[in-house]
Amino acid sequence: MTTPHKRAAVVVAAARACVGTRFRPQGRTPGSGLDCVGVVLQAARAVGIVPAAVPSYALSGETAAMLVAALADAGCVAVSDAAPGDILALAPAARQRHLAIVTPAGVVHAHAGLGRVVEGPIDPDWTLLGIWRLPGVH
């Protein structure tokens, strides 16, 4: 059986495998197009977590309640300190929501402005809304 620590490393590796994929709203296909939800879904699938279908959503608007519900429905647990493999819920701007996977080098996320999935530090102007841990990780 894989230990929780090793499962976190698998989540990070799966997220990093998405780096370079072009940004595409509602994208779910690595190498073809991903958005932030698509990156998180790929990372979760790497450790055998297949969440229920995510409803369609807009890039802006009030989606915080849907985000929290979807993470909780997938068995994620809110935590207070981020560790590699965790999911960050972020607000890049008012009424915008975004997800990222924590890595030792920062986060992996689908960056709409750059048009691709990237790894690096979080923009200091973004607001942290919550930290979520996938079930069985850590």
Distance CA 120, CA 107 (A): 6
Q: Is residue 125 part of a domain?
A: yes
- Parent domain of 74: 4-133
Q: Is residue 105 part of a domain?
A: yes
For residue 12, report the phi and psi dihedrals to the nearest 5 degrees: -60, -45
pTM above 0.85, yes or no: yes
Domain with 102 in it: what CATH number?
Answer: 3.90.1720.10
Q: Is the pLDDT at 118 greater than 70, yes or no?
A: yes
Q: Is residue 12 part of a domain?
A: yes
Of residues 107 and 67, more confidently modeled: 107
Q: Is residue 53 part of a domain?
A: yes
% of residues, the chain, pLDDT over 70: 91
Q: Is residue 96 part of a domain?
A: yes
Of residues 51 and 10, more confidently modeled: 10
Distance CA 83, CA 70 (A): 20
Confidence of residue 2 (pLDDT cuts 50, 70, 90): low
Q: Is residue 138 part of a domain?
A: no
CA torsion 16→125→66→136, rounded to 10°?
A: 40
- Predicted local distance difference test score (pLDDT) of residue 60: 65
Q: Is the pLDDT at 25 greater than 80, yes or no?
A: yes
Q: What is the pLDDT of residues 46-95, one digit of tens each?
A: 999 887 777 777 656 666 677 777 888 888 999 999 999 999 999 998 88
Q: How many domains does the chain have?
A: 1
- Predicted local distance difference test score (pLDDT) of residue 115: 97
Q: Is residue 115 part of a domain?
A: yes
Q: Mean pLDDT over all residues of the chain?
A: 90
Cα end-to-end distance, the chain, whole Å: 14
- Predicted local distance difference test score (pLDDT) of residue 62: 62
